[in-house]
Amino acid sequence: MNVETLSKIRLFGFAVAGLVCAGYSLAALASNSPDPFAPWLPAVSGVAAAAIIWVSALSAGDSKADAAFDEFYRIEWRKAVGFAYWFAILLYPIFAVLMALGWVSSPTAFASMGTASGAAPLLAFCFITLRS
């Protein structure tokens, strides 16, 4: 396995886990239910993505894994986490208004905000990586 393949596996893992979390968040909002589908699915997708990335990095070897997770990866990840932080902060006033208007219940807001906050750094990283 080469560095490029390992980077693509990481990107694919982040994208799938991020899309599952974002889908759960949107489905919770659309159905106004904290469990629109299997509530364990976002966690399982994240753990599966982490396991696949870890096993891929382990099988690639130290030098290739180090090259795939280099300074550029860390710069992009920092940008993604910075965006995700402010995205999560922005969710609080948005959901406060939605709950005050009675449009969203607090359990639904908790589920939607949690999974949206989990999806944000993963999908932001994918977006940043694909742009560069």
Q: Over the stretch 86-130, which tens digit does the pLDDT of each residue have? A: 999 999 999 999 999 999 999 999 999 999 999 999 999 999 999
8 three-state secondary structure: helix
69-82: b (≥16 Cβ within 10 Å) or e: beeeeeebbebbee
Is the pLDDT at 132 greater than 80, yes or no? no
- Rounded Cα distance, 128 and 65, in Å: 20
The whole-number average pLDDT for the span 17-30 is 97
Threshold 0.85, pTM exceeds: yes
The torsion region of residue 46 among left (phi > 0), alpha (psi -120 to 50) and beta comes to alpha
